[in-house]
Amino acid sequence: SSAVPHLVDAVYRQGRVEEALQMTERWPPERLTTPEDVDAHVGWRRVRAKAVARRGDLDASVGVVVSSRADAGGLQHAHEAGIETVVLSPRAFPSREAYDRALVVELERRRVEVVCLAGFMRLLTAGFVDAWRDRLINIHPSLLPKFPGLDTHKRALEAGETHAGCSVHFVRTEMDSGPLLVQAAVPVLPGDDEDRLAARVLQAEHRAYPLALSLVAAGRVRVAGEQALIDGQPGPVRLD
């Protein structure tokens, strides 16, 4: 019910992060079906994002969260987790190249080794992508190479797909391309609309992205040509 995320949020604020995370898994988005559950879904998404950000599963630390928008929700999550934040407004720079150069300065100042994109809705320049080759990771809400770009859930439904999902990959200059690290598939269920399918894919994203980051942080990934090798075996790792 719509009381669920409020209960989870209370548990989270008490510092019981793993317990909060487990609670969101017991009440996944597809179980939130009444009109009153609209707010519940927002709460579920917020609490789960916070909990994942604070988990200690990765052999890495978050050096900085950079946003192009001062009102991005991820900034508040970062503040609550004690992570430094930087806002770089595109309006403050004369060109995309100038913006990306400033972004590099912020990252190098903090000795960032891997850049993880999440909702960063800007096309990065070829210079930036090449400078961070095989250290720049993105997550996309489709099973690439299917449905790159926008409106992925709508397109999957219109195509009559039986499964959707998400892909974590190293970034290349072509949109939503590059060596695949992890893919997580979810079923497309009867009666699905874009919102229901998106909620199910989001749940898969919360499993796929941390796994991909843990593989990279542990040095278990190398790239041969345009193929990611995980422990020497061709990727991606597949979660079903």
Catalytic residue (one of 41, 77, 140, 169): 140
CB 221 within 8 A of CB 229: yes
Give the H/E segment covering residue 73. Answer: helix 73-80
Structure tokens at 205: 């994203």
CB 19 within 8 A of CB 56: no
User: In Å, what is the CA distance from 141 to each residue of 48, 104, 149?
Assistant: 17, 26, 9
Question: Could you say which DSSP state residue 124 is in?
Answer: P
User: In Å, what is the CA distance from 102 to each residue of 70, 109, 114, 116, 171?
Assistant: 16, 11, 17, 17, 19
Whether the link from the prior residue into 236 is cis, omega within 30° of 0, is yes
- Angle, helix 4-13 to helix 17-26, in steps of 10 degrees: 160
Please indicate whether residue 153 is annotated as part of the active site. no
Question: Could you say which DSSP state residue 60 is in?
Answer: S
Q: How far apart are CA 171 and CA 149, in angstroms?
A: 13
Residues with active-site annotation? 140
